[in-house]
A and B are shown apart, each in its own frame.
Chain A
Amino acid sequence: MKIHNTTGGRIFDAANYVFLALIGIVTLLPFVYVFAGSFATEAEITRRAFFVWPEQFTLGSYEYIFSTPAFTRALITTILVTAVGTLVQLAFTVTMAYPLAKKMLRGRKLILSLVVFAMVFSGGMIPTFLLVKDLGLLNSYWALILPAAINPFSLIIIKNFFQELPAELEESAKMDGATEIGILWRILLPLSKPVLATFALFYAVGIWNDFMSPLLYLSDNSRWTLQMYLRQVTAASDLLGTGNVDPNYIPPEQGIKFAVIVVATLPILVFYPFLQKHFAKGMLIGSVKG
């Protein structure tokens, strides 16, 4: 359809384009500032209120944080927990989704309705904390992985995906004597790669960004994750009147805060093209009945 544009329409278009471009830029500005600042000297950060390009380029802040054991430990920990956690959570979700996709399974409806109920009601923070404590998982990295092992939404979407695959695929494999596990492993999983990649990203982002679980379950600060470390570094010490604060704590230089933020954001930005593509679709699927 061709819209015949009037003068007023053209003025509106121009204003709208400029406005949206500004929105896009403003959205990005805080991060551009932090990114530029992470490569600037402390003197420049103090002198210039805002800049998107450092006058004097330095890697000092990065050299400093990467020589800080607390930071490197938090970074390595977070990478490992994210990698292992994603695999574990994906495995839990897929192994449960597959049988639930089979209509002849006994108790399937009951299990599904219990899953849906768990979506809208939970025991809450304290009973979950006490459970994790009673299981002896306090200060264990499993406390960051297991309590969130299956996201009910993801489970139901993967189940629906399996259900929609043609049944002939499985029947011919069964003729050849394959077990259900063999069918899942050799036939369904290779077919579901794009879907699994989406949910792997979903779980990975969840673990990487998680702040609440380490706050609740990791009291030993030598086991902290990157988000906990970031919180410790960037919150002004006098503002941390809410939790466990070291009275001898000296606030770090601005450049160091910038560098830590950049490192904590980088993986998200690297995977962003995939995230945008797959999650936008997922958001629309999520609004369709499970």
Chain B
Amino acid sequence: MAAPVVEAEASGRAATRPPARERKNGRFSVHFAHYKWLYLLLLPGVLYFAVFRYGPMYGVSIAFKDYVPFLGVNGSQWVGTQHFEDFFSNPDFPRLLGNTLILAFLNLGIAFPLTIVLALLLNEVRLSILKRTVQTLVYIPHFLSWTIVASLSFLLFALDIGPLFQFLNGVMGTNIDFLSDPAWFRPLIVLQEIWKNTGWGTIIFLAALATVDQDQYEAAIIDGAGRFRRVWHITLPGIRSTIIVMLILAIGQMLNTGFEQIYLMTNALNRDVADVFDTYVYFVGITQGAYSYSTAVGLFKSLVGLVLIFGTNWLAKRFNQSGLF
């Protein structure tokens, strides 16, 4: 019986405090038992993220393998960066990059400023019933699916029978095949984007406009500034930081051209201008079964997108101290 006492005295501190790992476990089991219901509640969500969010992130490894469904993700042979080299040397790569960037810049250059203009015009309305009615109407398309937007486009622009086709034919005598002429693909996409999201996009700007200091307007009126000069010198500078932050965040989302919209408007005749990274991954991966290659394309897009998001978020924080995270 004496031996353990001697040993304990010899090891000093170890005897008075249990080893670090055991101590932590001990407390954790008490903590865990006490809050077992909380951990139980957490379980489905954690499983969801592990399986459906992080599972595919593990599956991304097939971008570096020659994936054979029969062998599975783990059993397939490693091929290094072969698929990336194939993609970057493929003429599809510059075409996809060009299509994606052109659509992104058209949206940034046309749809984005229109949102600000619409918000400014709405902000000038003092008849609140008109303001609310217009807001109610222009927000609606935001909630409709891209399938509906595409279907409406198919009907309105249809060759021979579409109202817009007939209208332009009657007024100008043109016979434009909006839906299959590749030259009309981009204008249609931007038009859809404007119709669907311009109204909704004004919400953030209207909120910012409501915070512009009203005293400045009074001072400007006393100084004899007219409507446009007040907008130019007071209103716009007042929401400048919001505009910059929204623009920066939009740049961060630049590569996300929207799979559904583009896919629905793509057809055999406009593929050359319509294909973007997202739809290309679908056509090559799902319909042609080139799983590894298309995963590599998708991974490339995700990584560039990640850099864009973190980069632009950092920039946005520098401007306004309020990024996304």
* A residues lining the B interface (CB < 8 Å): 1, 3-4, 6, 8-9, 12-13, 16-17, 19-21, 23-25, 27-28, 30-31, 33-34, 46, 49-50, 91-93, 95-100, 102, 104-106, 111, 114-116, 118-131, 134, 146-147, 149-150, 155, 179-181, 184, 205, 208-212, 215-216, 227, 230-231, 234-236, 239-243, 254, 257-258, 261, 264-265, 268-269, 272, 275-276, 279-280, 283-284, 287-290
Contact of A50 among B51, B60, B163, B291 (CB under 8 A): B163
A94 CA to B180 CA, complexed, in Å: 46
A19 CA to B124 CA, complexed, in Å: 12
Are A257 and B285 neighbours in the complex by a CB distance under 8 Å?
no
**6 new A-B contacts at CB < 8 Å, known A121-B57, A211-B146:** A3-B217, A50-B163, A125-B298, A209-B143, A227-B147, A242-B267
B97 beta carbon closer than 8 Å to chain A: no
Chain B residues, Cβ within 8 Å of A211 = 145-147, 260, 264
A180 CA to B78 CA, complexed, in Å: 48
In the complex, the chain B residue whose C-beta lies closest to that of A258 is: B155
A-B interface pairs (CB < 8 A), number = 291
A187 → chain B, closest Cβ, in Å? 14
A97 CA to B48 CA, complexed, in Å: 13
In the complex, the chain B residue whose C-beta lies closest to that of A268 is: B143
Chain A residues, Cβ within 8 Å of B127 = 17
22 residue pairs A–B, Cβ–Cβ below 8 Å = A6-B226, A8-B227, A16-B121, A95-B41, A102-B38, A105-B35, A106-B28, A111-B42, A114-B49, A122-B302, A124-B299, A125-B259, A129-B286, A130-B73, A147-B52, A179-B37, A180-B41, A181-B40, A208-B145, A239-B268, A275-B143, A284-B203
Chain B residues, Cβ within 8 Å of A116 = 325
Chain B residues, Cβ within 8 Å of A210 = 145
A41 CA to B325 CA, complexed, in Å: 54
Are A122 and B143 neighbours in the complex by a CB distance under 8 Å?
no
In the complex, the chain A residue whose C-beta lies closest to that of B140 is: A272
A11 CA to B38 CA, complexed, in Å: 63
Chain B residues, Cβ within 8 Å of A28 = 137, 140
Are B322 and A288 neighbours in the complex by a CB distance under 8 Å?
yes
Chain B residues, Cβ within 8 Å of A276 = 136, 139
B214 beta carbon closer than 8 Å to chain A: yes
Are B130 and A21 neighbours in the complex by a CB distance under 8 Å?
yes
Chain B residues, Cβ within 8 Å of A261 = 148, 151-152, 155
Are A96 and B295 neighbours in the complex by a CB distance under 8 Å?
no
A92 CA to B46 CA, complexed, in Å: 10
Are A234 and B134 neighbours in the complex by a CB distance under 8 Å?
no
Are B48 and A128 neighbours in the complex by a CB distance under 8 Å?
no
Are B144 and A265 neighbours in the complex by a CB distance under 8 Å?
yes
Are B130 and A257 neighbours in the complex by a CB distance under 8 Å?
no
Given contacts A146-B52, A234-B155, contact A122 B203 (CB under 8 A): no
A281 CA to B306 CA, complexed, in Å: 27
In the complex, the chain A residue whose C-beta lies closest to that of B249 is: A287
B71 beta carbon closer than 8 Å to chain A: no
Chain B residues, Cβ within 8 Å of A13 = 124, 126
A196 → chain B, closest Cβ, in Å? 16
A254 CA to B155 CA, complexed, in Å: 8
Given contacts A127-B56, A127-B59, contact A239 B143 (CB under 8 A): no
Chain B residues, Cβ within 8 Å of A8 = 226-227
A113 → chain B, closest Cβ, in Å? 10
Contact of B57 among A6, A123, A134, A242 (CB under 8 A): A123
